[in-house]
Amino acid sequence: MVAPFRLVAGDHAPVQQTSTTCGSASLTVARMLANPAFAQWVRDGIRKDAGDGDVPDSGTEAQRFAAYEQVVASRTNAMVGAGRRLQLPWPRALGTPPWGALNELEYGAADPDADYDLAWFRQRGRAGLQHTYAALRARVRPGRPALLYVGSAWAPRHVVLVLPPTGEQELDVYEPSVGRVLDLPEHAFVERRLAIAGWDVPWAAVWADPT
């Protein structure tokens, strides 16, 4: 049996391989968390049953991760995405569309029993963001991570993967631009001072339905 892949605050993780694949990197890590055999293939090159017919063959861990990033990017930005769902057009230069991320999470990158939604909260005030953080904390659990879109006051510019809290701690995020698991404090979220890859404002989340 393959050991589960886990990440906690302070851990090192793969770095996104291009300037526009933060979402693809986050979704690849989400799949690693959901599928231990896939994670083993990325880390060690041991194929066994990686659970995805599109898994490419590459020589090193970084090469395997980079190649799969591109597989994910092709699916999330295509007219027909994961699960054969139709998707709205989205410029590749802007990275991962939220609806493409949602389809990817529902079809292999998360708990197969989870349904995902897209929530926008850029315009919410302090009380609204407090409620949003509490909802995010309640919805994220093992096998059901969330994607968080952050940016400037004008546009979303970066994507991170929100991981389950440990005990009563605040949330953690996999930050693909540096390949680390970082804290996501509630006060920084509510005050729009996230300082994630230089971006402060929480914009949207692709998160699992509460069950």
110 found inside a domain: yes
Residue 85's contacts (CB-CB under 8 Å, 6 or more residues apart) are 103
Q: Maximum CA pair distance of the chain? A: 49
Residue 57: its pLDDT value, please? 67
115 found inside a domain: yes
What percent of the chain stands above pLDDT 90?
Answer: 68
pLDDT-based confidence at residue 133 (cuts at 50, 70, 90): very high
> Per the structure, how many domains does the chain have?
1
Average pLDDT over residues 118-122: 96
Residues of the domain holding 89: 22-208
Residue 83: its pLDDT value, please? 83
C-alpha pair distances (Å), 206 with each of 1, 8, 68 = 31, 20, 21
Residue 179 has pLDDT above 90, yes or no: yes
Residue 48: its pLDDT value, please? 56
Give the domain CATH number at 40: 3.90.70
pLDDT-based confidence at residue 86 (cuts at 50, 70, 90): confident
pLDDT-based confidence at residue 162 (cuts at 50, 70, 90): very high
143 found inside a domain: yes
Residue 92 has pLDDT above 90, yes or no: no
14 found inside a domain: no
16 found inside a domain: no
How many C-beta neighbours within 10 Å does residue 88 have?
A: 9
Residue 52 has pLDDT above 70, yes or no: no
Average pLDDT over residues 24-52: 85
7 found inside a domain: no
112 found inside a domain: yes
182 found inside a domain: yes
